[in-house]
Amino acid sequence: MRLLLIRHGQTPANVHGILDAEVPGPGLTELGQRQADALPAALADRGIERLFVSSMVRTQHTAAPLAASLGLEPVVLPGLREIAAGDTQGKRDATSVQIYISTVHGWSGGDRSTRMPGGESGDEFFARYDDAVRQIEASGVAVAAAVSHGAAIRTWASAAAQNTPDHFGTKRNLENTGIVELEGSSDDGWRLVDWEGEPIGGEQLIDRTAQDPTGERS
């Protein structure tokens, strides 16, 4: 299977650097909607057969234009949601951002037993994301797209891909509507095909002023 993991379009929290992983969460900014509107033309030749989203509103709004253009009904998989922010939820101060990022990077470094303060552990995150990906595979299609979240995609994809180190995603940016493309399966292993860190619709959709902690490289 070829799996396209698409980060959702920009949200108000992305603009202001706020850690926001609550379900259902906010919708998109005006720029975020334009990023979503660019997906159909940008992905028209990818052969997408099924489309999946998380339980968070921003992924569903991002997927809507692509779903309409492909004539697909997005399937909601809660396991694709963002890494829970726990005690740092709703905060933007440097200490809270550092706690969130360092915890996630610790999982990428191999310490998955560590728990996000007030939130989930690395083991719990990988278990629910792995389960969501297996549900995508169970659809039986050759090409699937899933709209998910910055920290979740970077962390899971880097660990799942056998041709990258687990910390690979900590060194790569993934802006809103950036795409990580993998090929393979959960049983046979995944291979990273491409890491498109900038918005898939082009440079005009980049917000260089956004204080987005889950999209930037470390």
Amino acid letter, 196: E
In the prediction, which pLDDT does 216 show? 67
Closest CA to 164 of 176, 172, 174, 152: 172
Cα separation, 55 vs 109, in Å, equals: 27
Cα separation, 14 vs 210, in Å, equals: 6
Respond yes or no: is residue 105 known to be catalytic: no
Respond yes or no: is residue 73 known to be catalytic: no
By three-state DSSP, how is residue 133 classified?
helix
Parts of the chain with a pLDDT under 50: none
Which residue in the block uniquely carries the two structure tokens 């108000």? 12
Which member of 8, 61, 149, 181 is catalytic? 8
Which residue in the block uniquely carries the two structure tokens 């339980």? 55
What one-character-per-residue DSSP string does 31-75 give?
Answer: HHHHHHHHHHHHTTTS---EEEE-SSHHHHHHHHHHHHHHT--PE
- Cβ atoms of 8 and 59 within 8 Å: the answer is yes
Contacts of 127 (CB under 8 A, 6+ apart): none
Cα separation, 78 vs 110, in Å, equals: 24
In the prediction, which pLDDT does 208 show? 83
CA distance readout (Å), 185 to 86, 120, 137, 141, 189: 31, 25, 7, 12, 5
What are the structural domains, with CATH classification, of the chain?
2-205 (3.40.50.1240)
Closest CA to 81 of 23, 138, 3: 23
**pTM: predicted TM-score of the whole model, two decimal places:** 0.95
What one-character-per-residue DSSP string does 84-96 give?
Answer: P-GGGTT--SHHH
Cα separation, 197 vs 102, in Å, equals: 21
In the prediction, which pLDDT does 2 show? 98
Which member of 82, 120, 175, 181 is catalytic? 82
**Residue 119 has which token pair?**
């939130």
